[in-house]
Amino acid sequence: MEHNLSDTMALLTRTPAALDALLRDLPEAWTLRNEGEKSWSAFDVVGHLIHGERTDWMPRARMILEFGETQAFARFDRWAQARESEGKTLGQLLDEFAQVRAENLGELRAMNLRREGLERRGRHPVLGVVTLSQLLATWAAHDMTHLHQISRVIARGTARRRRGVNRTPQDPFGYPRQNIALFSTAQRRCYNPRISAAMQDRENDERFCLQYMR
């Protein structure tokens, strides 16, 4: 199927505002919650998206146009946000993401890509030869995967370990006490097997990120 670049850009353009509307000034009880060890909170995901803007998508698009298949992309660091987001507020990260995304989309527009350009090929360090069209489609799909992840993490919620909340047999996810009332309705619903199945797909989101963000 031919790549419709303006459709892809329509998604990429909306992500910063969608994240901003959902997350800005939301209590940390929601934005810092993750799904357990080595999983990400909304705060972590926004940092990861910023790192992708700076080191992955447009730098790789430039490399495809400049070097084609002769030079592989630099590897992507999936844990860079831990150091890069340190000391920043979520509000600062949301501003930074909006700014770098706008700059990148400005640059993408200026490339004025036509079909021949979108078919240009580059070399992914793990996946091998990829087209510019595939790279750009993956960029948008990656946004949607992380939006899905964030809404799931907030809905399910596992307290951050560093906050000292412990799991117990009665409270296997270690919900902070103050959130139990908030969660009771969601939990009852989540324990409906069909809904809970849809909410258990952390593995799918992570597989996407692991597969493409390397």
Instruction: Calculate the alpha carbon distances from 22 to 8, 42, 128, 178 in Å.
Output: 22, 10, 36, 21
Which of 22/186 has CB closer to Ni ion?
A: 22
Which of 73/175 has CB closer to Ni ion?
A: 73
Q: Does 132 bind Ni ion (CB under 5 A)?
A: no
Beta carbons within 8 Å of 122's beta carbon, 6+ residues apart? 60, 63, 64, 67, 68, 69, 73, 129, 130, 131, 132, 135
Q: Could you count the other beta carbons within 10 Å of the beta carbon of residue 208?
A: 18
Taking the alpha carbons of 57, 63, 65, 70 in that order, is the dihedral positive or negative?
negative
Q: Taking the complex as a whole, how short is the minimal distance between the CB of residue 142 and Ni ion, in angstroms?
A: 5
Q: With CB under 5 A, what is the number of residues at the site for Ni ion?
A: 2
Q: Does 209 bind Ni ion (CB under 5 A)?
A: yes
Which of 141/213 has CB closer to Ni ion?
A: 213
Which of 55/187 has CB closer to Ni ion?
A: 55
Of the listed pieces 14-22, 133-141, 183-191, 206-214, which binds Ni ion according to CB under 5 A? 206-214
* 86, 39 Cβ separation under 8 angstroms: no
Q: Taking the complex as a whole, how short is the minimal distance between the CB of residue 90 and Ni ion, in angstroms?
A: 17
Q: Does 213 bind Ni ion (CB under 5 A)?
A: yes
Q: Does 19 bind Ni ion (CB under 5 A)?
A: no
- Sites of contact with Ni ion (CB under 5 A): 209, 213
